[in-house]
Structure 1
Amino acid sequence: MTEAADPLPLAQALIRCRSVTPADDGALDTVQRALERLGFACKRLRFDEVDNLFARRGAASPHFLYCGHTDVVPPGDPSRWTDNPFAATVRDGVLYGRGACDMKGGIAAFVAGLSDFLAENPDHPGSISLLITGDEEGPSVNGTKRVLEWMEANGHVPDMCVVGEPTSREALGDTIKIGRRGSMNAWITVQGKQGHSAYPHKADNPIHRLIRVLDELTAEPLDHGSEHFEPSTLQVTGMRVDNAATNVIPEEASCFLNIRFNDRHDSKALAARIRDALGRHAPRHDLRIEVSGESFLTAPGPFVEALRRAVREEAGVEAKLDTGGGTSDARFIARCCPVAELGGLGRTLHQVDENVPVEELRALSRLYVRVLHECLRG
């Protein structure tokens, strides 16, 4: 691989940008310069305080989109790191720094792969675009979702998309994510009537009511999984009763729920399930629900098989199709086109001394070259 197509210099340049959500610190400028050298037309899109980049080369179909993010989570206490988390140090063939694994290294690998692909195929079929956001690790309100709305309004709807999250587990390419469970949070506060614990008939204990609600919600599993998904889960993630006295029945009690749900459910039906239980056991209550995303699935078909073929031919492994883990920006893209996640190994994402072997970055770059060949061929 020539130095021009080596992902290491770009990965280092990106890591040296302190782009902790929502800061950019020059990260998108760095990507934009690299893409403009490859003939991409770039458009910067700023929504509130978040910077985003859309870049496209060509106008024909099929339209292949690569999606990634340059924002990173905070490094925590820098003194716990062996090196400065933004120094992009290479030691013993390993690149260290916040974002090396998630996912500045992946972006650098894709751009380097683009360079190789375009050098070999200057008149390639179709078109290639990149959506790079600075709002994936944050609220995810002014990033990919807003850029997709702009793309739809301006004639840039893709035919397929690869999100470059680090999906591999034991070997490069061994896992392709073709869907994700949905995620929703619920905050419940049950009101009762305060009173002396020796005279419970004169009070209304909200804790007892809340316990009955939670017993109903957790007594049976939501489901036992589906063809492509593991079982849905409802977890009580917190409880609070502001009461320091042992002989006082409190006035209210609260809890927090997180539900990860597969394609057997949607958030509307699950919210109704919670409301029904509250109506039966705790009619006086406050309920707030937030939905991070619905479940989605890209069913196995030509696009997914093209990715598996690319992995098989370049990495020599048979990729497992997976829908586990948390949410990602793929949840926004799923309504536009088939989407899958394929990237490097996620061994150290969000950890102290986050790192990626340099040769792994280079292998990922070669894999992305093969992905472009398979997805854009006629």
Structure 2
Amino acid sequence: MSDLTTLKQQLIDEVESRKDELIELCGSLIKIPSENPPGDSTEISKFIEGYLGKYGLKTEWHESADKMFNLISSIGIEEGKHLIYCGHTDVVPAGDRSKWDFDPFSGEVVDGWLLGRGASDMKAGLGGIIFAFALLKRLNIDLPGKLTLAIVPDEETGGEFGVPWLLEKGLVKGDGCLIAEPSSPLNPTIGQKGSYWFELEVFGTPGHGSLSPVAGGNAIVDAIEAIEKIRSLWDMKITIPEEVKGLIEVSQRYMREVEEDREKFQPVLERITVNVGTIQGGTKSNVIPESCKVQVDCRLPFGVTQDEVTAYLKKELDGLGIRYEIRQFGFRSNANHTSAEDPVCRSIVDNITFVTGENAYGVMQWASSDARHFREYDIPVLQYGPAYLPSIHGYNEKVQVEDIVRCAKVYAAAVIDFLYENK
């Protein structure tokens, strides 16, 4: 057994022996409401700073918007490689409390499950990287490079004041990044589809409802025709680039063989998905509506760009002879990925196998995340974190304790492989 393998095993054993402490940390994070909106991360940021401070770790605060705080802490040396561990403190609102079977901010453990809003997305993962980061300091592990903990307050509403803000300001840099976002136990996500959110506004001519359709121009009726054209994006012919075909194929196999309930979702990796999320139009039933707004969420596979989607939509909608405007908002990106052979991917994947004894490999995610921002700055990145995927953003969110412990072991061991490789 090599010295590095011995060191990794020591860290894994330390996580195991201190797992109660790890779960207590994750539960404490859940107990602090950090819903976004409104996005006030003051209380949870103070808690994290206090936890790190107990072990002599200093935390930088960077306020990107009112009461939205980005935290940065680092250990190691400037020479050598630089690894980033990233997580977000915000969670989606708990919603109707009466529909929960337990207090959404209880942070309790019941029958091997940690309960509460953010348990899976992503306070268990956040707790894991904080714990692993502090553990390396507590054990006085000499690192031949630098490990930075970057904790952001704004991911659930698009992330404008989190990761992209830090990258634009040059406050975080690195040779690789791990985001502790939810994933499957053996399958981190190394690629994401692109995002294309837009609002279509269709304009009509108002008039008395008793004269429709002879008089006026009904914006809602025209919007219905427009929606059918928008939905045809699903049938748009797309050629998947050769360099990502392998990733698509392994991801579809994962959907068939691992998450078997997702077998029917295989086509979404190669097509543009279209969700008509909201429709708003008209004033009352006896007035011909002069405006109708439709908000749509499209996710883009490899092989098509945002500009190409815009051109397709304009061509189809212009053919209807309607008056309209298209405005993009929210998530915007083209499909992106990190090679499975990149050192940061190998470090995480190899150590999932080292910890579990099972074959691990990276897959494609059909949604999108903060990972796209790191890739825009040429920082290789992947996502791996504990989760009970069906509970994310829903009522009764939870995560298994054993998943939290496994991921924390991987986080600690992967630092060694990444920073020591080609040091």
**TM superposition score category, shorter chain reference:** 0.7 to 0.9
Given that 1:82 and 1:353 are in contact with CA atoms closer than 8 Å, whether structure 2 keeps it comes out as yes
Q: Quick one: which of 293, 296, 305 aligns to 1:266?
A: 305
Aligned to 1:157: 173
In structure 1, C-alpha distance between the alignment counterparts of 2:202 and 2:232, rounded to whole Å:
20
Q: What does 1:1-378 align with in structure 2 at a 5 Å threshold?
A: 1-3=16-18, 6-21=21-36, 22-38=39-55, 40-49=57-66, 50-58=68-76, 59-118=78-137, 122-150=141-169, 152=170, 156-168=172-184, 172=185, 174-194=186-206, 203-206=216-219, 209-219=222-232, 221-224=235-238, 226=240, 227=245, 228=248, 229-242=269-282, 244-245=284-285, 250-282=289-321, 284-294=323-333, 295-303=335-343, 304-336=345-377, 337-347=379-389, 348-378=391-421
TM-score, normalization by structure 2 = 0.78
Given that 1:191 and 1:206 are in contact with CA atoms closer than 8 Å, whether structure 2 keeps it comes out as yes
Larger helix fraction of residues: 2
Given that 1:267 and 1:291 are in contact with CA atoms closer than 8 Å, whether structure 2 keeps it comes out as no
Aligned to 2:262: none
Q: Secondary structure at the match of 2:331?
A: strand
Compared with structure 1, are the counterparts of its residues 157 and 5 closer, same or farther at alpha carbon in structure 2 (3 Å cutoff)?
Answer: farther
Once structures 1 and 2 are overlaid, which stretch shifts more, 338-347 or 187-196?
187-196
Q: Secondary structure at the match of 1:368?
A: helix
Give deviations 1:10-52, integer Å, cap 9, x for gaps: 1122122122221225212222233344554421110122111
In structure 1, C-alpha distance between the alignment counterparts of 2:222 and 2:98, rounded to whole Å:
47
Q: How many Å apart are 1:175 and its aligned residue?
A: 1.6
Q: How many Å apart are 1:252 and its aligned residue?
A: 4.0
RMSD between aligned alpha carbons?
2.8
Once structures 1 and 2 are overlaid, which stretch shifts more, 125-134 or 85-94?
85-94
In structure 1, C-alpha distance between the alignment counterparts of 2:122 and 2:19, rounded to whole Å:
20
Compared with structure 1, are the counterparts of its residues 198 and 357 closer, same or farther at alpha carbon in structure 2 (3 Å cutoff)?
Answer: closer
In structure 1, C-alpha distance between the alignment counterparts of 2:98 and 2:320, rounded to whole Å:
51
Q: How many Å apart are 1:202 and its aligned residue?
A: 5.6
Given that 2:42 and 2:69 are in contact with CA atoms closer than 8 Å, whether structure 1 keeps it comes out as no
TM-score, normalization by structure 1 = 0.86
Gaps of 5+ in 2: 1-15, 249-268
In structure 2, C-alpha distance between the alignment counterparts of 1:241 and 1:37, rounded to whole Å:
56
Q: Secondary structure at the match of 2:119?
A: coil
State percent identity of aligned pairs: 26
Given that 2:348 and 2:411 are in contact with CA atoms closer than 8 Å, whether structure 1 keeps it comes out as no
Give deviations 1:172-201, integer Å, cap 9, x for gaps: 2x2211121122222222223346777856
The count of corresponding residues between Structure 1 and Structure 2 is 370
Q: Secondary structure at the match of 1:272?
A: helix
Once structures 1 and 2 are overlaid, which stretch shifts more, 19-28 or 128-137?
19-28
After the TM superposition, which segments of 4 or more aligned residues of structure 1 sit over 6 Å from their partners? 196-199
Gaps of 5+ in 1: none
Q: Secondary structure at the match of 1:323?
A: strand
In structure 2, C-alpha distance between the alignment counterparts of 1:253 and 1:209, rounded to whole Å:
9
In structure 1, C-alpha distance between the alignment counterparts of 2:219 and 2:368, rounded to whole Å:
33
Give deviations 1:201-237, integer Å, cap 9, x for gaps: 6644545644554444434613457323432223333
